[in-house]
Amino acid sequence: MPTYISLVNLTDQGVRTMKDLSRRLQNADHTFSSMGAKLKEIYMVMGEYDYVVLAEAPDDATMARVTLAIAGQGNVRTQTLRAFDRAETLELVEGLP
């Protein structure tokens, strides 16, 4: 399955309700799995973003639906990137002039 990296920022609502983080993470796991995707890992980070999320989904449309469902709860804003592993990258550049 394709890999995705999401850069996540908490909204004001998300910061105010941090005590619910455990429940929100469980809901995120459920949202991913119910849509055929996999939440691989979440990292809380310091800097411009609050979290980095690693996920897998069968296609871009599925990942977009997952992202919209999670962001629609009002706790986070996301920027999602499609990531290509080494093998995928080598396949992409194979045959370039």
Q: In this model, does residue 8 exceed pLDDT 90?
A: yes
All structural domains of the chain with their residue ranges: 3-93
The whole-model pTM stands at 0.90
Mean pLDDT of 7-36: 96
**Looking at residue 95, what is its pLDDT?**
78
pLDDT at residue number 97 = 82
**pLDDT for the residue numbered 96:** 85
Q: Cα(97)–Cα(14) distance, rounded to whole angstroms?
A: 48
Q: What share of the chain is helix, strand, coil (3-state, %, to 5)?
A: 45, 30, 25
Closest by alpha carbon to 73, among 5, 23, 7, 3? Answer: 23
Judge: domain 3-93, CATH 3.20.10.10: no
pLDDT tens, residue by residue, 29-78: 999 999 999 999 999 999 999 999 999 999 999 999 999 999 999 999 99
